[in-house]
Homo-oligomer: A and B are copies of this chain.
């Protein structure tokens, strides 16, 4: 491991100098996919009760309403819009994932950027550039401290996202290297978010607040508000205080050559990624069984141990709890072939036929089972046994969502908020965002007609 003493400054130097021309085409393409997926999630989550309550709490304090609360009619100042859009993009647990760290990269970064882009003119290319740089910063800092940092209890999307957002907004504000160093420092000292909040509305608060706090850091640095110049690597800086692992090679090694932003992945299902193999396999099994799915006597799953640890809730009572129940997830996949947001509503979780099915699901864990794999055995009432192996679930690094699948995901969730026609138009605009001369039009295109 490098014992460097200029990590923060070297990173700031790179951030300030990285133009779109320096970013490989494949990474740019992934950046566009990241943005499209994020926008669909933010619109899809917009009418969630969590967003309603956050709006009720903060609206009285909003400044000039320059920026759109995506998928809604309300407008807020840019910092508050960043908060709200970060919340809505995460609230359905449907956003993107950097699989090496379980960071959900777009929430903090894109939510800040689009809100700021409604305050000042920003082209699509500027946005794409800042988005990729911000995600790169956030994921590389995550790599430097993962897994210890996450294992200690930090919600890594919040703790690293704030620095990604500061870097990204700092690009739009054209911070110089000194100011960018300060922005990273002001962001680092706000790094926060406890995993204890999982299962509550405050989980979604983390990416939202990271977006807002990172943007604030950039605006303060622009006003020459100074901070440490070694915020990441100092003995009492971010990495040493918040982790027992600090590998600064992960931050500076191959910077501008190997792109973490190119490794982003997108969830096909609206729940924690550990249940995805089960849902994938159960949908496939349901398609094979046809009407026979009604005759299932019991279902035996063999999964990675994390599945029960994170999602072992046997009797969920709310849609949110349903996301933490592999039993409910298997049931809705089998009976409704659904793992989208409609699978995790209060209605679904309390539907008698799904309750009956989830009670037939048994889980055994095997540490040798890959996290992206599952083994499923369905026993029918007539004694027949049908098995299904999933080696790598859809949405995993090896089996990424295609652009067509991203389209379906986008329209399915956005249509619930703004209707299918508007969702399809918005999707088309979103794919072309990098060619827009003013990306703020995209934010306004999310407002329900």
Contact = CB atoms under 8 A, between A and B. Distances in A.
A63 interface: yes
Contacts of A226: 200-202
B224 A53 contact: yes
Contact of A228 (B79, B196, B237): B196
A209 interface: yes
Interface in A340-366: none
A319 to B, nearest CB: 14
A228 B221 CA distance: 33
Given A53-B224, A79-B61, A227-B202, A197 B216 contact: no
A190 B189 contact: no
Contacts of A58: 216, 219-220
A238 interface: yes
A201 B222 contact: no
A23 B205 CA distance: 35
Contact of A54 (B78, B79, B222, B225): B225
Interface in A152-206: 152-154, 185-186, 188-197, 200-202, 205-206
Nearest to A202: B227
B189 A191 contact: no
A184 to B, nearest CB: 11
A186 B154 CA distance: 14
A306 interface: no
Contact of A193 (B57, B61, B189, B220): B189
Nearest to A151: B236
A205 to B, nearest CB: 7
Contacts of A64: 60-61
B57 A230 contact: no
A235 interface: yes
A56 interface: yes
B50 A63 contact: no
Count of identical protomers in the assembly: 2
A10 interface: no
Interface string A220-260: 11111111101100111110110000000000000000000
Interface residues of A, number: 56
Contacts of A219: 57-58, 60-61
Contact of A61 (B63, B194, B202, B240): B63
Contacts of A223: 53-54, 56-57
A189 B201 contact: no
Interface string A63-74: 110000000000
B57 A225 contact: yes
A197 B230 CA distance: 9
A60 B63 contact: yes
A205 B220 CA distance: 11
A38 B252 CA distance: 44
A380 B225 CA distance: 44
A280 interface: no
A338 interface: no
Given A196-B230, A228-B196, A220 B53 contact: yes
Nearest to A62: B63
A136 interface: no
Nearest to A185: B202
Q: Which of A50, A56, A79 has the most B CB atoms < 10 Å from its CB?
A: A56
Contacts of A205: 186, 189, 220, 225, 227
Given A57-B219, A191-B192, A205-B220, 8 more contacts: A53-B220, A57-B225, A58-B216, A61-B219, A152-B241, A190-B192, A195-B236, A201-B226
